[in-house]
Amino acid sequence: MGTAQHTQTAILAHNLELDSKMGGGLPVGSLTLIEGANGSGKSVLSQQILWGALRDGFTTALFTSENSVSSMATQMQKIDLDILDYLLLGKCRIFPMALSNAGEQATISLANAIRSQQERDLVVIDSLTQAVVNTRENSKIVRFFERCKEFCANGMTLIVTIHSEPVSHELVNTLRSMCDANLKLRVEQDGQRMVKTLEVSKVRGASSTTGAIVGFDVEPGWGMRVIPISKARG
């Protein structure tokens, strides 16, 4: 699986502080769950990692429930994550997905769509929230993650973002346990402003990073700018 031959064993965000907090990046062939509330930075973090993968020669696919191809490319360009050349060269593909219209079949359709991109090194799903909300049986969501694990066993690296608040704690805990990496995003008060924080709950093979927390802002023309955690916490 994958169109390029790599000696690299990890997917890097190409943000020194973030990569350090994640123990040197996400392992190739891993399944990562990025969770957090609306506006906590889930999309930006997944885009940063996708852009970093492209810089290192990995091929990618992004399934997005919130953007068209052009709006996604424009949005990423505004935060200094320009992927236009990668899109034109076929190194990156973007697939808008209408999960709210798929009902109970959403996870099945999405799994089939991911399988159609099995030659890609990195696949990002941003986000799975609508599919989870519209699926009555938790077992279907668990089965989707099992399918994702099968893709990862064949060499694909997968990132799934989810807004965990509407999801039952039991299901979220099950999904966390199934994943190789779990990144939790929050928005916290810092004096007169709100800042985003990233907690690295776990990354396979990098146990020393467990519990690592980094604060960050997202700025136009700059992207993710890491700030000292003392500032993030006041």
Could you tell me if residue 1 is inside a domain? Answer: no
The model's pTM: 0.93
On whether the CB atoms of residues 42 and 35 are closer than 8 A, the answer is yes
Closest residue by Cα to residue 41 from 231, 214, 234, 196: 196
Could you tell me if residue 31 is inside a domain? Answer: yes
Q: What is the CATH number of the domain that holds 147?
A: 3.40.50.300
Could you tell me if residue 174 is inside a domain? Answer: yes
On whether the CB atoms of residues 49 and 80 are closer than 8 A, the answer is no
Could you tell me if residue 40 is inside a domain? Answer: yes
Could you tell me if residue 36 is inside a domain? Answer: yes
From first to last of the 234 residues of the chain, give the pLDDT tens digit: 554 556 789 999 999 888 988 889 999 999 999 999 999 999 999 999 999 999 999 999 999 998 899 999 999 999 999 999 999 999 999 999 987 777 789 999 999 999 999 999 999 999 999 999 999 999 999 999 999 999 999 999 999 999 988 999 999 999 999 999 999 999 987 777 788 999 999 998 875 666 788 899 888 888 888 887 664 444
Which amino acid, one-letter code, is at 72?
M
Could you tell me if residue 2 is inside a domain? Answer: no
pLDDT on residue 231:
47
On whether the CB atoms of residues 15 and 226 are closer than 8 A, the answer is yes
Instruction: Please list the alpha-helical segments (H only) found in the chain.
Output: 16-21, 42-55, 69-78, 84-88, 106-115, 129-134, 138-153, 169-178, 229-232
189: containing domain: 10-232
Number of domains in the chain: 1
DSSP for 88-134, written as a single string? HTTSEEEEE--GGGTGGGHHHHHHHHHHTTTT-SEEEEE--HHHHHH
